[in-house]
Amino acid sequence: MIDADVIARKLLVLNEALRELQRPAAGDATRLSSDAVLRAAVERWLQVALESCIDIAFHVVAAEGWTPPQSARASFLSLAAHGRLSLDLAQRLALAASLRNVLVHGYAIVDVERIAKVVRDDLGDLRLFAAAAAQWLKP
């Protein structure tokens, strides 16, 4: 059974991170390159936002008793396979999970241009996910 409190808390954290990422400087690669503190803050807020979505996805999969996904990427695809997300959105979120791994584990040097582009162009997917997750709380 989905724990509404778990989802609600994660949505609050997600919304806070998205609010912080709305700052104009957050999507400006030049500013991110020249201000290490700003860059670190943007990377952290982006990580927090992505992890909130991943945590929600894993919670729903577990609560519904579906086959546990092997990765964060797979958790979004599982939601799509069970009709909770569109496949298109799930695929975009799966790619976002890869960015989270780069941010957390430092698999590669984080590309400032990529971060700025994600902040400018891709946060709408996280908002769509939040809206979908909020619907899962309704009886």
- CB count within 10 Å of CB 40 equals 11
Going by pLDDT thresholds of 50, 70 and 90, the confidence category of residue 107 is: low
pTM score of the predicted model: 0.93
pLDDT higher than threshold 60 for residue 108: no
Per-residue model confidence as pLDDT tens digits over 46-94: 999 999 999 999 999 999 999 999 999 999 999 999 999 999 999 999 9
Q: Give the CATH architecture of domain 4-136.
A: Up-down Bundle (1.20)
Distance CA 124, CA 18 (A): 9
Per-residue model confidence as pLDDT tens digits over 22-41: 999 999 999 999 999 999 99
Q: DSSP H helical segments within the chain, as ranges? A: 4-21, 29-34, 36-64, 72-81, 87-105, 112-121, 123-136
Per-residue model confidence as pLDDT tens digits over 120-135: 999 999 999 999 999 9
pLDDT higher than threshold 90 for residue 110: no
Query: What was the pLDDT predicted at 104?
Result: 86
Q: What are the sequence ranges of the domains in the chain?
A: 4-136
